[in-house]
Amino acid sequence: MGSFKTVLTKIEELDPLHSKKIKKDLDGFDDAFYEKADAFTDRFEGYLKKKGKDLDYGIDCYLKMIADVRIETMHFVRTGEYTSKSFEDTNARVYNNPDVMEYYMNALLLSQFLWGHHYTVYNYFIDNLPKYKDGIDYYLEMGGGHGLYISEAISLLKAGTKFDLIDISPTSIDASRSLIENNSVNFILSDIFKIKAEKKYDFITMGEVLEHVEDPVALLAKLGELLKDDGSMFITTPTNAPAIDHIYLFNNAEDIREVIDKAGFKVTEEIGIYSEKVSKERAEKFKVAMMYAAFITKK
Ligand X SMILES: C[S@@+](CC[C@H](N)C(=O)[O-])C[C@H]1O[C@@H](n2cnc3c(N)ncnc32)[C@H](O)[C@@H]1O
User: Where on the chain is the footprint of ligand X (CB under 6 A)?
Assistant: 95, 108, 143-145, 149, 166-169, 172, 191-192, 207-209, 212, 236
Parallel/antiparallel/unpaired status of strands 265-274 and 290-298 = antiparallel
Say how far apart CA 223 and CA 205 lie, in whole Å.
10
Taking the C-alpha atoms of residue 202 and residue 233, their distance in angstroms, rounded to an integer, is 8
SS3 289: coil
CA pair distance 139, 134, nearest whole angstrom: 12
Q: Taking the complex as a whole, how short is the minimal distance between the CB of residue 100 and ligand X, in angstroms?
A: 11
Residue 228's H or E segment, with its range, is strand 227-239
- Least CB distance to ligand X at residue 97 (A): 11
195 or 283, CB closer to ligand X? 195
Between 12 and 249, name the residue whose CB sits nearer to ligand X: 249
- DSSP letters, 46-76, are HHHHHTT--HHHHHHHHHHHHHHHHHHHHHH
- Name, in order, each residue with C-beta under 8 angstroms of 111's C-beta and a sequence gap of 6 or more: 62, 65, 118
Specify the residue, 152 or 282, whose C-beta has the smaller distance to ligand X: 152
CA–CA distances in Å: residue 209 to residues 106, 235, 248, 275: 17, 9, 10, 18
Q: What are the backbone angles phi and psi of residue 107, rounded to the nearest 5°?
A: -65, -45
Phi/psi of residue 206, nearest 5 degrees:
-140, 100
- Minimum CB separation of residue 33 from ligand X in Å reads 18
User: In terms of CB distance, is 207 or 216 closer to ligand X?
Assistant: 207
| C-beta separation of 266 from 260 below 8 A | yes
CB of 282 to ligand X, least distance (A): 26
Work out how close the CB of 162 gets to ligand X at its nearest, in angstroms, rounded to a whole number.
Answer: 19
Q: How far is the CB of 174 from ligand X (least distance, A)?
A: 11
- Measured from the CB atom, the residue of 12 and 93 that comes closer to ligand X is 93
User: Quick one: 166 or 294, whose CB is closer to ligand X?
Assistant: 166
Beta carbon of residue 269, minimum distance to ligand X (angstroms, whole number): 18
> Distance between CA 72 and CA 239 in Å, rounded?
14
Residue (26 or 166) nearer to ligand X, CB: 166
